Amino acid sequence: MSSVINGVEVQELAVIPTGGGPVMHMMRPASPLFGPIGEVYFSEVEPGCVKAWKCHTRQTQRFAVPVGRLRIVLYDDRPDSPTRGMVMEIRLGRPDAYRLLLIPPRVWYGFTAEGAGPALVCNCPDLAHDPTEGLRKDVDSQDIPYQW
Amino acid sequence: MSSVINGVEVQELAVIPTGGGPVMHMMRPASPLFGPIGEVYFSEVEPGCVKAWKCHTRQTQRFAVPVGRLRIVLYDDRPDSPTRGMVMEIRLGRPDAYRLLLIPPRVWYGFTAEGAGPALVCNCPDLAHDPTEGLRKDVDSQDIPYQW
């Protein structure tokens, strides 16, 4: 992790061995990152592919990666943020990075799958999908100081 | 599907092609199966392994399988049910069975992974985990007329 962005939260999650395959926690009421869940969906990422850049003006993202390995990059261009201009890179996935990542509204994010197979992202945002509050930039946008 | 059990619901879910890998819906407010989500967790199932039998006295299960192939078997022994005694077998997984399965309280269930790789079950039950409301039977219990 090259820097920390204000409002981004990371929580390590339990992987519980059981006969036949593990149980993996994602959202639990005891977690400080728990709250209303507006929708649940998955994004599969093929190895080496990049999905970037996205930003939500109102929705908070909550990501976990139960399959594969994900590199996710965050960029803060919020004028009112104490970490404005910062880039944050974080890995999600088993065995050593099974964790919940909370991305607050107005922080840009993108991700790619590292490793041999696809990565599966599960997102449990606080609000339901609303196409009017999602923003995008091209993967090679000059507005964001990160090279994929 | 060999029979239908009262209160069990199945909804086909969208798999939306996008560059780098599909987006797959699970819980959406427009769905008749949407409602409060008490927790979110995953259960990975190694090929050929069986996880059975379980039953919840109060919690409703909502399953989808974004990775791999799952065979899930349900058994109704509710004394007040019009489908008492019925067994229901259903497949979950891509490409032809990406769907949401709702299992009401007091219906027994178990599952196994079919195919070459592990299956990943995501569950979005209506209530948080409570060990006092979960029941179990051995995989080879004579109480349930199904042979794994």
- The angle formed by the CA atoms of residues B41, A121 and B61, to the nearest 5 degrees, is 25
pLDDT at A4: 87
Would you say A54 and B19 are in contact if contact means Cβ atoms under 8 Å apart?
Answer: no
Predicted confidence at residue B3, as pLDDT, reads 56
Helix (H, G, I), strand (E, B) or coil at B88: strand
Contacts of B25 in chain A (CB under 8 A): 39, 41
Q: Do A19 and B128 touch (CB under 8 A)?
A: no
Q: Do A20 and B124 touch (CB under 8 A)?
A: no
Q: Is the pLDDT of residue A1 over 60?
A: no
Model confidence band, residue A97 (pLDDT cutoffs 50, 70, 90): very high
The CA distance from A34 to the nearest CA of chain B, in Å, is: 9
Percent of the residues in chain A that have a pLDDT greater than 70, as a whole number: 98
pLDDT band at A30 (very low <50, low <70, confident <90, very high): very high
- B27/A44 CB distance under 8 A: no
Q: Are A43 and A123 in contact (CB under 8 A)?
A: yes
Do A27 and B18 count as a contact with CB atoms less than 8 A apart?
A: no
Asked if B26's CB is within 8 angstroms of A41's CB, the reply is yes
Among 2.30.30.60, 1.10.3720.10, 2.60.120.10, 3.40.50.2300, name the CATH number for the domain at A9-136: 2.60.120.10
CA atoms within a 13 Å half-sphere pointing along the CA-CB vector of A123: 19
Closest residue in B to A45 (Cα) is B21
Domain extent listing, chain A: 9-136
Listed residue (B33, B1, B24) closest to B94, CA to CA: B24
Residues lower than pLDDT 70 in chain B: 1-3
Does residue B27 sit at the A interface (CB-CB below 8 Å)? Answer: yes
Closest CA to B109 of B70, B76, B131, B140: B76
CA A110 to mean position of chain CA atoms? 8
Residue A20's contacts (CB-CB under 8 Å, 6 or more residues apart) are: B45, B46, B49, B50, B51
The pLDDT value given to residue A5: 97
> What CATH number belongs to B9-26+38-136?
2.60.120.10
Which residue of chain A comes nearest to B45, CA vs CA?
A21
pTM for the whole thing?
Answer: 0.96
| Whether residue A3 has pLDDT greater than 70 | no
Question: In whole angstroms, what is the distance from residue A119 CA to residue B22 CA?
Answer: 11
Which token pair is A1? Answer: 């992790």
Predicted confidence at residue A2, as pLDDT, reads 44
DSSP tag of B111: E
User: SS3 breakdown of chain A: % helix, strand, coil, rounded to 5?
Assistant: 0, 45, 50
The interface predicted TM-score (ipTM) is 0.95
Q: Hey, is the C-beta of B127 within 8 angstroms of any chain A C-beta?
A: no
Contact A65, A10 (CB under 8 A): no
Query: Per the CB < 8 Å rule, is B43 touching A23?
Result: yes
* pLDDT tens digits, A33-80: 999 999 999 999 999 999 999 999 999 999 999 999 999 999 999 999
Contacts of A46 in chain B (CB under 8 A): 20-21
Tell me the nearest-neighbour CA distance from A2 into chain B, angstroms.
26
Quick check: B24 and A44 CB within 8 A? yes
Which residue is associated with the tokens 């299960």?
B61
Measured CA to CA, the distance from residue B4 to residue B89 in angstroms comes to 9
Q: Are B108 and B77 in contact (CB under 8 A)?
A: yes
